[in-house]
């Protein structure tokens, strides 16, 4: 994997993690309700997206032959 690809990956993963943290901080200051639930759901979706990205870009993943 090229150094640029590694940099792009880590930047993307970093941005995902930062966005999830930001959403959780917003939700922590809100009373229970629909908006808070939506923010927490979005944060979980971002966590899943990060995990999927790690899996899809892992060096162990091989293209079909």
Domain ranges of the chain: 15-55
State phi, psi for 59 to the nearest 5 degrees: -70, -20
- The whole-number pLDDT of residue 8 equals 57
Give tens-digit pLDDT for 10-60. 688 889 999 999 999 999 999 999 999 999 999 999 999 999 888 888 888
Residue matched to tokens 């959780």: 24
- The whole-number pLDDT of residue 19 equals 94
- The whole-number pLDDT of residue 12 equals 86
Q: Count of residues for the chain?
A: 65
pTM comes to 0.74
């Amino acid at each position: 994997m090229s150094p640029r690809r590694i940099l792009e990956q880590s930047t993307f993963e970093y941005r995902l993690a930062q966005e999830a943290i930001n959403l959780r901080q917003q939700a922590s200051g809100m009373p229970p309700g629909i908006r808070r639930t939506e923010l927490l759901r979005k944060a979980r979706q971002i966590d899943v997206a990060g995990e999927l990205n790690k899996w899809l870009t892992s060096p162990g993943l091989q293209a079909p032959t």
